Each structure stands twice: as C-alpha cells, then as structure tokens.
Structure 1
C-alpha cells in the first residue's frame, strides 16, 4: 500500500512539460516507455478509471504490475520522440510494440576517404563520412546488389592492400590490382563512380556511361576493353530487367500496408527505388490495445531509427495521429523533406492497396496456422489426458559417437511454435562411455534443478522409447515432480510412450498432434546434432593445428573461435588466417597448406 502511495505521489508531482516516461515493475524491469507533450496529463490518464473496454483492460493488466515510474524532460515533443525510440530499442519493454527479430538490416558502405575504396557489408552506420546504401530488405537483396557490383566493377575485395600480392580475384577479372600498382588513382576513381551509380540505382546513367566508353574503346581499336564494357552492360540489363517496374516516373517510395484480425497484425513493406520494386518485408505483431495508426507509428520510428536511405515519399494504409511530429523527425534524419501520405485516389492508392492485399494474405495464412496449432495442442491434451493444452513443451535429445563429445539439447515450443531464445545446449559432464540413458538423465536433472529460474513445462518430450522415458522418469521422481507430464516418441513407428500406460499410443498419421510431436522431436534432434558436429569440427581443427609449429594454445583458440569448423578453416584465405590469429604471412601460409591437404 505504501508503494502505491509513493507511485501516486510521483504522478501528482509530474511536470506539465514534454518528455519520456518509463513504467517499471517490482524487479526494476521496464514494462513500457512512452512520450508525451505533457508528462503530467499523459501519465495521469493511466490511473483514471474508464469503462471496461478491451483497450482499458489491457492497460489495467499492465498497470497492475507497475511499481515505479521514471521520467525524462525534453525540450520539445520531437526530442521526446527521438529519445522514446532510442530507449525502446535499448530496453525492449514488454508492453511496447517492437520488431520481433530486432534485426539490424545490412548496409553497403563505400568509404571515399580511402585511396582505393571498396564496397563492404556493415550492420551499423557510423558518423564517419563514408557513403552508406540501404537498408536492404530482405537481406538477399543486398547480396544480389553486392554480387552485381563485384561481377561488373573490378574494385578491390581485400580489407587492406598493404603488403598484398595479386590474388585469385585479379586473375578472375574481379579486381583491377591496385595492390601492385596495376591501376592508378584516376582510373580507379572511374570505377568508384560506376559503383556509386549502381548503388544509387542509377542503372540507366551507368549503362549510358559504359556504352559511351565501349564506343570510345572500339574507335581506339581497344577491342578487348570494349568487350569488357559490353559484358558489363549485358550483366546490368539482365539483373534490372528482373526487377518489377512499379512506376515509370522513377520515384523512391516506401509503402506500408496493414491488416489486423484476431489479436494479430501483419504489415507489408514494399521498397521502391527509381520506380523499381527492390525489396519486400513482412512484420508480424501481437495486438494488445493499439490502433492501426499506433502500430504503424511505432514501426516507422523503429525501422527508420538506424536508416539513412529514407525515401522522399512514405505511403501508408492508415493515418498516424502524430504524423506531423514523425514527419519532422524524418526530415531531420534525411536532411531533406519527407512526405508521409495516406493516398485516397490515383496510382498511389493502388500501390497501398497492393501492400494491404499482401498483408491480408499473410494474415490469413498466419491465422490458419494459429488455428491448426491450437487444434494440435487441444488434441494432445485429449490424447495424453492432460489438464489443459500444453502451451509450453520442452524436448530433449542426446548426440555422441561411442560416448565421445557427448552433448544434449533442449528445445522449447510455446503455443505450438519454437521459442529459439529458450533453446539450450549441454555438454555431458558426469557420464563416461556410451550410455545414452544416463546422459539423458543428466540433462533432464540439470534442467529441472533450475526450476526456480525458468517455468516448468506443461509437457516434456523425449526422443526415444521406453528406456529414455524411464531414465528421465527416475529424475522426475527423485526431485519430487511426480505430476510433471512426460512422454517419449520413438522413431520409425512413431509410437508415443507414457509413464501411466503399459502399451504405447499409435497416433494416426494425419493426426495434428502426431505431426506436432514429430516436428518438435526432429527439432531437438537437429539441434543436438548441430552442436555435436560443431564440437567435432573444433576437435578436428585442434588436433590438426597441434602439428603446426608456432601455433600455441592462444592462437589455436583464436582460430577455433573465428572459424569453428574444418571446412570454414579450409575456405579461409591467408589474409583471413593472419587477421584471426595475429600471425605472420609465412605461418598463415603454412596453416593454409596443412589444412588444404586434408579432405573434408
């Protein structure tokens, strides 16, 4: 009661000024971050009683957990918006709308301050004066562009050219050889200009430029050089002809279309550059108490927080309540005018409708999948006689070769979907020799000993038959968790074993429950095998590197950390080996030769 009084006292003392507020729970975790033109009025509204409508009920659930309040005053509402976006990205509060993957979209960087610039992939933008192109959505779009640049423009590929010699890239015609002075600064600058035109989407300008150079080379009887220009032009046309022409006017636009139903929302983003559709991304959100405008507003702020390539027009399917404020923020980030539009007629509204149609299709597919998952969990409840559908299922498997490099896996599925952030890997510590039952018992024991740190599952699934089930069952009884549901699923016949049944259950082949159990079991097996192979690869490298003079424990550890597998080590260049282990070129060459002689 005293804590509630302290919180209400804080609310009454809030200033009537713009700023950002943070709600925290009893453990200090941030639950929600918001901005306000008036902190006093906005925060006070959360403590005001209102009719029991869905929006208020969701807020009430959050407010029941709020134990503390912080606020930061800003000079104006625009500063509050910028601070709110950065804090949400940093804290990832539970009740804020957030991009599920929190992914850093890739950019291509061209640093003109270097004597011989090159195109490199980066995930974060720095204020270093270099040119950044992107973000590329999806990531495959970036790799396509980079492949085109590398194929048509012979810029250097090495991180550094100091002390380098001509490599394979030069002999393949993909590098002009600046490391050995085979191209001077002005000629290399022409290649950089070509790369800039390509990265900026000015393919027609680049094609015309190359065509002119091809004619000049032909007139000068430099037929080999003219043929190279001809091949460049052909490659450019081949790639750009595959891109769909959206607008003959050649605008740069981002288009957001939203569809929402049944507690879920899907947003489709189309990226159009110079009139071409170059990328598309789908965002999925769980709806709480947000309107369509709230959702779009939050997505736009997060998406453009780290992006430099903000187009002149952003077309939206729904209006934003704080559109003028977001527009001002986008203007400041782009250093030019950016328009936020909700078109009502003409060609632009048809583009938004196209994005909305794709969002509706994605939503319908997701909802069908959600219903199928719910049916599978309900069927599992009935077949296994569980008190409720098993929302959280944990599956375990063991992988080893005759007891060596033995590992265990734990995968977690919630509401019929994998929760990869909760996956865990175990190195077997207490079992010597090939005893899969004892290894499984160790893994289950180590997991259940941490029951206070993570919630117990509604169902444990083991990869195997009656033997695996009995091994884990002994651990459960030892720890006094007699009511914890547990089953095993045997391969081939796909029989389900339960502790309370003497005969296994044979689920129909088309049973959703069977398909779900198979999917989870196979995922636990895949996760265990992947970990085991990684350890085998590191073990093979360690054994191999033991025979190389000059490679001690520290350098061996650096190579293991950097490459992780024999195949990756084999594919590494001498320069990459030098950089990873901090060794001389001669020692890197020795490693390269030793590893290259081993078959993978």
Structure 2
C-alpha cells in the first residue's frame, strides 16, 4: 500500500480503503489525491497512521490493507462520485443517511386563463410556474383544503367539458367552462388561495367551521377526514416566535448526533414564514462525521429534479466542504447558491431553533428495541439491524415463478418499500441470484439496509455474500432454513427445527427463543408476500393459457413459449417470425390472428 500512496497523482479523485478481506472500509474525495491521502500517514521509520487523525479514522487505518483510487476531472465530480459510492456501497466507516426521498411541491401555471393548483416532485415545464413548498408531509391535505375552501376549477377535465357540472351546483366551482366567471375575477380567487398556502391560519379556521357543520349534520366520516386534514396542515411547520422583518426565503439544515442515533432537521422558510419542516434519524453514530453528514444531506436533498432551491441555505454547524457543495449546487441549478453558517442575528436564531428541535427529538425518541440489540449480539452484526430486507421466492413446478422482498424498519413493516420480482430462472438458486442481483443494482437509488435475511440454507448465504463481495458492498446476511430430516427440509411447523446460517457458522436456537421468533416473523412475512404474488400470477397465467387453448394452442406449446419469452406480455409482443422460430408457422398464424382480434 505504501508504494501506491507515494505514487498517487496530483489530481482530483476518489480514494477507497479496503481491509485484508477486500471489504470496503472508507470512501473519501480529494482535490489533490496525493496530498489528501498522504496526510493520513507517516512514513518513518515505517508506514503508520498519522496520530493527528480522529479516533474513527485511526481505527479505519488500523484495518486498512489496500488502497484504490479513481481519477476525475475536477473536485465537483469527486464530490458527486464520493456521495454516490457511499450510498451504493455502504462503507464500514462512512456515515450513511437514508433520508433521500423527494418532497412534493404545490405549483400553479398562471399562463392559462383559469389555472389550477397541482402537486409535483419534479420540475414542470411552463412559462409562469410558481412553486410552493417543499411539503415533506401534509402537502396533499393542503391541496385538498384549497379546493374545499376556494371555488377553483376542481378537475383537469372540467374546462374541457365546456359545461357546468355538479361542482358548480354545490358551489365549489364558478363554472369558468361556461364563462360564468371572468379570468380577472377568477384571478382574485387564485391570489387568495396563494396567500393561504403561506399564511395558513385563515384556511384552517374555515376548515374548522366546515368540520363542525359536518358533525352537526351527522356526517361523521367526512368530519373526521377534515379533522385529519387540519391536523396535517398544522403539523407542517414548527412554531416560532422569531420576528423576521424581511420576507426572506431560506432553507435551514441542522444535524445533531446522539448517544444511539442522530437526527436531521430541515426547515423551509418562504416570505419570512416557516411553511414546512421535516426530520429524519440516522444510525451508526459511533462513526459520526459532521462534514460527511452535511455533504450527504445537502447533495441528496437538492437533486437535479428539485423544483425549487433557495439562494441561501443556512446550516447549524460549519463543515469543511461547504464551499465545494455550494459550488456544486450552483452549477447544478445554474444560479448562485450560498451555504451560510450564521453566527449572530435573525438567521443565527433560525439555526438555533433547528438545533433546539434536534435536541428535543433525540430526547423524546424511543430507545433502541431490545430485541434488535439482542439480534445484533447473537449474530455478531456490524450494526444494530434497524432496517431489514427479507427475501423469498415462490413457484409451482416452475410456473408463475416470482420473488418477494419485505422490509422491516424501526420496529414496523415498511410496506411502501416491499418489492415484487418476476423471475425467469428455473432453479431456486438461480431465482435467488436473480432477485438479489436486481436489488444490488438498485442500491444507487435505494441504499442497502442493515441486514438481509434469506429463506434458504448455506448455499443462499454463500451466494449473497459472493454477490455483495463482487459489488464491494458491506452488508450483513443470514439465512434461515428448516433442518433436514431424511435429506428433506420439512416446512410443516414442528416437523423440524429452524436453523440459522451466518458468516460465523451455524446457530441453533431453542424453539421458544424470542430471537428465533423475531427472525421467523421476518421469514414468514416474506413467504406470505411471495406466495400471495405467486397466486395472483398463477391465476393470470391460467386464464391466459385457457384463452390460448381455446385458440388451438396446447399447454405444452404455451409452456414452450413461456420458457423462451419469459412472460405472456413478451409472447404477445413477439413478431410472427419470432413465434415461428420457437414453434412453427401454424402457431405463429394463430398468435397473429389472436393479437389482431
């Protein structure tokens, strides 16, 4: 490694430290690779870590055995590549923030006579677009409230119909489709609605009155829905007594590390009012690095598709790469973006407010689940498994082969993150390989979890570790399988024990062990999810086979087509020549007539 370090180029780039087993330890970026990496080390009397480094870096260097580097054109490219690699590969000594969701904005295009408010997560093309937000939560409730209180054009299709509809009859629309309201008069209503997006108290007061009227009319479900909307709108922003003399637009970021985890707060101020806020937690706080945390938070939040970015971003702590991040964001959005750490005045009070909320969130957040800590100790995991992905596949004699991934996060099922996979491999190992490979390919968009649980034995464990090693991703894996009796794995409960296969060896727990029950719960949910999807696919395939059978194509021929093309959709999309190549011209003619019919 010493020769590599001493011969590094004087160029921008990204460097990667690996241990003896080629596990990725750390990813960093440099304006000058030679200067940056040499700063980690002392070369006399022999190569050893620079004692001036942080304890976290010293621990990493003590494990480092190998160094790789990638040259890029400039420091901005190095910054972006570093962030991407950390997200994809989950290096052991880098902090990984998971809050990379895109937040919705409410927008209006006033280039048309009768504009409507809509929700978007991306930039919308238009001549006179105005954005409001972002709204991490409650954006839909706020949009619904506008259409409840103000007589706006309720649906996109309304103007196309050219005739007043039910919305006009119930006084929720002024029927611009029949020119019953002029663009000028409608514009005044739009102006009031735009004001309500920023100063929301009058809006919630009107909703409160309507909720009470609904309750008097015993329309309790509608009243409850409106109550939920009111609460969602009120929860959008953090209350503040800070007096803002100027109508400034700023985004405020504060990151604070705690004993068990850290928290990120984002506040969004528009026209001198905090219009929305959000927070998220992160783990692995023993390797916390303020510079990395702020870099990731800002680069992940302000993607190229972000509809709006403030010219000033306030941060609660100064960080080393702030200047470079500001340059990168300025380049990304083609306007000057400043990252400021205010030390006094109103802006300093805003960052102080954000930090106070960080402290309160860390104080009030529930402690780590005892069972998750026990699992980490049992399996000798690199970190506590707050987020777990569990995989299983399902088929019936090779038909309707599918896979499922379920996600456990912070003590509950994250069903929005569940994934279904249509699989093409004929053997179960191939099916698991296909499923895991596709998930690894998605790490650039959705970072790895803390733990993978696989339904299956040692073969699946070895497969997963091999795929992760090839991708240079640090991720703990275990597999759970039934003990084999008479060379057969019995699924029936009580027929055989569940065994745990880990990278450290085989673990056998007693049937009443709560740790085993927790792992079985993950496996059973993945099995349920995969089987449900299999049943849906099987019913669909049976229907398709029945239809083709009526057209004169037998089940054996259908299976032959499926084996070649993979799905019915691909069969129907295939050309005459492709069908004839797999079967014969007679079948190709039948398929062609079927598609035309």
TM-score (norm 1): 0.57
Task: Give the Å deviation of 1:373.
Answer: 1.4
Aligned: 1:460 with 2:479: yes
User: What residue number does 2:526 align with?
Assistant: 524
Does the 8 Å contact 2:265/2:279 carry over to 1? yes
Report matched runs for 1:493-508 at 5 Å: 496-497=497-498, 505-507=510-512
Distance in 2 (alpha carbons) for counterparts of 1:391 and 1:277:
31
Deviations 1:44-69 (A, max 9, x none): 43565413853333553796453333
Establish whether residue 246 from structure 1 lines up as the match of residue 240 from structure 2.
yes
Q: What SS does the corresponding residue of 2:263 show, helix, strand or coil?
A: strand
Do 1:488 and 1:498's aligned partners in 2 also have CA atoms closer than 8 Å? no
**Structure 1 residue corresponding to 2:106, chosen from 108, 119, 139:** 108
Alignment CA distance shift 1:85-1:325 (3 Å): closer
1:150 has 2:143 as partner: no
**Residue 304 of structure 1, CA deviation:** 3.6
Contact 1:137 1:279 in 2 (8 A): yes
Q: For the Cα contact (< 8 Å) 1:394–1:461, is it kept in 2?
A: no
CA distance in 1, matches of 2:387, 2:457: 16
Within 5 Å, give how 1:380-459 maps onto structure 2: 407=402, 409=404, 425=421, 450=463, 452-453=466-467, 459=478
What is the aligned-residue RMSD (CA, Å)? 6.0
Q: Distance in 1 between matches of 2:396 and 2:174?
A: 49
* Residues 1:319 and 2:313 aligned together: no
Q: For residues 489 and 316 of structure 1, what CA distance do their matches in structure 2 show?
A: 56
1:505 to 1:331, Cα distance in 2 relative to 1, 3 A:
closer
CA contact (8 A) 1:110 1:119 kept: yes
Mapped to 1, the partners of 2:125 and 2:116 lie a distance apart of 18
Q: 1:288 to 1:541 in 2, by over 3 A?
A: farther
Measured in 2, the distance between the counterparts of 1:239 and 1:97 equals: 32
Partner of 1:268: 265
Task: Tell me how many residue pairs correspond in the alignment.
Answer: 469
Structure 2 residue corresponding to 1:535, chosen from 511, 534, 537: 537
Deviations 1:171-228 (A, max 9, x none): 66555545555544334433433343334x14479999x9xxxxxxxxxxxxxxxxxx
Distance, in Å, in 1 between the alignment partners of 2:170 and 2:17 is 59
Indicate if the aligned counterparts of 1:394 and 1:413 stay in contact, CA closer than 8 A: yes
Report the counterpart of residue 57 of structure 2 in structure 1.
56
Asked if structure 1 preserves the Cα contact closer than 8 Å seen for 2:251 and 2:314, the reply is yes
Measured after TM superposition, the shift of residue 520 of structure 1 is 0.9
For 1:137 and 1:297, how far apart are their aligned partners in 2?
22
* CA deviation after TM superposition for structure 1 residue 297, in Å: 4.2
TM-score norm. by structure 2 comes to 0.57
Give the drift of 1:119. Answer: 2.6
How do 1:89-128 and structure 2 match up within 5 A? 92=87, 94=89, 95=91, 97-125=95-123
The secondary structure found in structure 2 opposite 1:365 is coil
Q: For residues 89-110 of structure 1, give each alpha carbon's deviation from its aligned partner in whole angstroms, at most 9, with x where no partner exists.
A: 6554545655425322222232
Distance 2:411 2:202 in 1: 51
Partners of 1:185 and 1:390 in 2: CA distance: 57
d(CA) in 1 for partners of 2:355, 2:389: 42
Deviation track 1:508-554 (CA, whole Å, cap 9, x = no partner) reads xxx541441243134214422552465379679989999xxxxxxxx
Shift of 1:143: 1.3
CA contact (8 A) 1:254 1:313 kept: yes
Q: CA deviation at 1:266?
A: 2.6
Question: Secondary structure of the residue that 1:72 maps to in structure 2?
Answer: coil
2:138 paired residue number: 141
Q: Provide closer, same or farther for how the CA distance between residues 312 and 528 of structure 1 changes in structure 2, counting only shifts above 3 A.
A: same
CA contact (8 A) 1:109 1:130 kept: no
Distance 1:494 1:347, change over 3 A: farther
Cα offsets for 1:365-416 (capped at 9, x unmatched): 35x23x54131354579xxxx9xx9999986667789998575546588999
Q: What displacement does 1:358 show? A: 2.9
Summarize deviations over 1:410-466 as a string: whole Å, max 9, x none.
6588999999989774669879xxxxxxxxx9988995795643579864335xxxx
Residue 71 of structure 1 is matched in structure 2 by 72
CA distance in structure 2 between the aligned counterparts of 1:167 and 1:446, rounded to whole angstroms: 63
Structure 1, unmatched stretches of 5+, are 74-79, 211-233, 432-440, 463-467, 476-486, 547-555, 561-600
Distance 1:84 1:417, change over 3 A: farther
Is residue 42 of structure 1 aligned with residue 56 of structure 2?
no
Q: Which moved more, 1:521-530 or 1:169-178?
A: 169-178
Gap change, CA 1:352 and 1:428, over 3 Å in 2: closer
Contact 2:249-2:269 at 8 Å conserved across structures: yes
Q: How far apart are residue 351 of structure 1 and its match?
A: 1.7
C-alpha distance in 1 between matches for 2:279 and 2:83 = 19
Partner of 2:290: 292
Hey, what's the Cα distance between the residues in 1 that align with 2:476 and 2:324?
Answer: 45
Distance between the aligned counterparts of 2:231 and 2:71, measured in 1?
A: 56
CA distance in 1: counterparts of 2:467 and 2:80, whole angstroms: 29
Deviation at 1:158, TM superposition (A): 1.9
Cα distance change on mapping 1:317 and 1:326 into 2, 3 Å: same
Asked whether the equivalents of residues 259 and 266 of structure 1 are also in contact (C-alpha less than 8 Å), the reply is yes
Structure with the larger RCO, 1 or 2 (CA within 8 Å, 6+ apart): 2
In structure 2, the residue matched to 1:365 is: 366
